[in-house]
Structure 1
Amino acid sequence: MDQSKEKLKPNPRATASWISKLSFWWLMPLLKKGSTADLTIDDLYEVERCDASKTLCDTMERYWLEERALAAARRGKASYARALLRCFGLRYFAVGLLAAIEECVLRLVQPLVLGWLIRHFEGLASPMGSPMLSGAAIVAVALIHIVVYHPFNFLCRQLSLEARVASSALVYRKSLRLSKSALAGTTVGQMVNLLSNDVNRFDSSVIFLNYLWIGPLQLIIVTLLLWDLLGWACMAGLVVIVLFIPLQSFMGK
């Protein structure tokens, strides 16, 4: 888990402005060079201090020790999930707000505006008035979707990487502290499985966990919109969706 001894170039993201981070402009020099020549190790940037394995392991270990102390005080069992939640939960929820904007606002506004544009060509009254405004709104929503989705995807993957690195480093640090008697009861295969397979679940789960609360919120908003258009008829589709949730949960489990 040691950091590389080779001196790499400073990471431009550490000093980039929020506009540069939002548009990924800080990555343009690397992408430009990669489009004209093969990249080498010297072209890569050093890891930001906040993403270094030692920094993440120290932070995660502090929260884990706090969780163990709380569990001992209430005479319960310490939960690594609760320690992860306290360590990354606030940032993860903040990232989830971007997903909520994308799913509950942008994905619903775009078909509505498209419907208003179609109403204009059918000779019906449109809330936007001019078809030019409707067309401009469709383009604007698509651009905002790009600006929101890609930072959300990047931050989710960054959080999953941080959780994976912190957990791996914590397992490695723990293995160095085990006594010979404790090591006798732990196989090498168990550690390899933890470090190679189990921690990789962070990569996929972190992206989709926010949808556990975004999904119901989106369902409520869509139901209200359909109720305004169709009335009681929209409840038929809603009932089918709700009835399929237990089946999908069972199949997923």
Structure 2
Amino acid sequence: MENGSGARKESEEKKEVKKGKPNVLSRLFMCWVCPVLVGGNRRDVEERDLIPPPSAKYKSESLGDKFERYWLEELGLATQRGVAPSLWRALRRAFWLSYMPGALLLLGNAIPRTIQPLLFTRLLSYWSADSTMTRLEAGYWAMGMLLCNFLAMVCHHHNTLFVGRFGMKVRIACCSLLYRKLLRLNQRSLQSTAAGKLVNLMSNDVARFDYAFMFLHYFWMIPLQSAAVLYFMFRAAGWAPIVGLFSVMLLILPIQAGLTKLTAVYRRETAQRTDKRIKLMSEIINGIQVIKMYAWEVPFQKVVGSSRAHEVEALKRASFVQGTFGGFMLFTERTSLFLTVMTLVLTGSMATATTTRGKTCR
């Protein structure tokens, strides 16, 4: 009877999981998240509430075997050339093909965003004094704007999901390779390796892959999109938008370069202080019996608190620089528009809603 009830439970769970698989529309609009959010608001989220992932793609064993093969090839090539092995080259050879679909999603976001101001400019011309556009044509331009916004939104969210999954695959592969390396180290190498550094590598440093791959495609997409935008702006308003854009670039680029350098310095400092704190905590945990026996809790508490305070101080400086860096995004857009309108006025051109408002639509 127990075997029968157990088999019945397993079949019910399989049916429940199979029923929970989303269809095409649910995947497109990400409706499969709604039951998870609603259920999580009422009770704790359980494993049966989640959609079963494609486990074969994210298994540590398969990803580790694949990356280890390319890493050994990179070691052999680096030894032949007499140079240091590169983690980036090994990652590129191992995962470049599975990263390419993100380019299509990013293009699906960039192309509608580039076309949308042109459609908005045409829509604004409907209200001009000498317009011959009918209301039906204006409705077509408005529908085109809505469609572009919809396509850009769908591609943006799916690209974010795709990049998050891809970053998770790379993170799993790197952690698997680190773990295999640790298992092969001898006692002498283990004693010379700081445990805090290893913990920081597997918990903090590899998490940067989740963000790094989100922006790699912009290296080739930004020049193409910038050229297209400059061409359309030149056709709409002449040289004034180009003057405004390049003036802002000359003003902002040196500041952003300095902030980028400061960010790298503060992140390096934060990583060093985090390694030091984790190493200290590891040593305290290993000697916790002696600390309790001699009642040294308060002195060691002050030592840990001081180490954490130094780490938080570095984190504050890095966060301040990142916030300043992000603020320049809003400043750049509005300054560019201001310089464009000012150039139009100073050159005697007419600054109409069609030539100015269309450039701020995204």
> Residue type matched to 2:258 in 1?
F
Alignment of 1:1-253 (within 5 A): 21-24=27-30, 30=36, 33-34=39-40, 37-47=43-53, 48-103=55-110, 105-123=111-129, 124=131, 130-243=137-250, 244-253=252-261
> Does the 8 A contact of 2:114 with 2:225 survive in 1?
no
Question: How far did 1:167 drift?
Answer: 1.0
- For the residue of structure 1 that corresponds to 2:238, the secondary structure is helix
> Residue type matched to 1:85 in 2?
R
What is the TM-score when the length of structure 1 is the normalising length? 0.83
Change (3 A) 1:238 1:214: same
Q: Work out the CA distance in 1 between the residues paired with 2:89 and 2:126.
A: 53
Question: How far did 1:176 drift?
Answer: 0.7
Q: Which residue of 1 aligns with 2:266?
A: none
Question: How far did 1:92 drift?
Answer: 2.2
Question: How far did 1:20 drift?
Answer: 5.1
> Does the 8 A contact of 2:108 with 2:151 survive in 1?
no
Question: How far did 1:127 drift?
Answer: 11
Question: How far did 1:50 drift?
Answer: 0.5
Q: Which runs of 5+ in 1 are unaligned?
A: 1-6
Question: How far did 1:233 drift?
Answer: 2.1
Question: How far did 1:17 drift?
Answer: 6.5
- For the residue of structure 1 that corresponds to 2:214, the secondary structure is helix
Change (3 A) 1:11 1:153: farther
> Does the 8 A contact of 1:60 with 1:84 survive in 2?
yes
Q: Work out the CA distance in 2 between the residues paired with 1:64 and 1:197.
A: 22
Question: In the TM superposition, what whole-angstrom CA distance separates every residue of 1:42-94 from its partner, at most 9, and x where no partner exists?
Answer: 43344421012222211111111121122223222210011111222233233
Q: Is 87-96 or 218-227 further displaced after alignment?
A: 87-96
> Does the 8 A contact of 1:113 with 1:138 survive in 2?
yes
> Does the 8 A contact of 1:223 with 1:238 survive in 2?
no
Question: In the TM superposition, what whole-angstrom CA distance separates every residue of 1:192-225 from its partner, at most 9, and x where no partner exists?
Answer: 1101111111122221222222222221111111
Q: Work out the CA distance in 2 between the residues paired with 1:126 and 1:96.
A: 37
Aligned residues: 246
Q: Which has the larger radius of gyration?
A: 2
Change (3 A) 1:187 1:41: same
Q: Work out the CA distance in 2 between the residues paired with 1:94 and 1:250.
A: 33
What is the TM-score when the length of structure 2 is the normalising length? 0.60
Q: Which runs of 5+ in 2 are unaligned?
A: 1-9, 262-362
Q: Work out the CA distance in 1 between the residues paired with 2:74 and 2:26.
A: 37
Q: Work out the CA distance in 1 between the residues paired with 2:119 and 2:58.
A: 41
Question: How far did 1:35 drift?
Answer: 6.1
> Does the 8 A contact of 1:116 with 1:127 survive in 2?
no
Q: Which residue of 1 aligns with 2:336?
A: none
Question: How far did 1:187 drift?
Answer: 1.2
> Does the 8 A contact of 1:53 with 1:165 survive in 2?
yes
Higher helix share: 2
Change (3 A) 1:126 1:56: farther
- For the residue of structure 1 that corresponds to 2:45, the secondary structure is coil
Q: Which residue of 2 aligns with 1:4?
A: none
Q: Work out the CA distance in 2 between the residues paired with 1:46 and 1:178.
A: 36
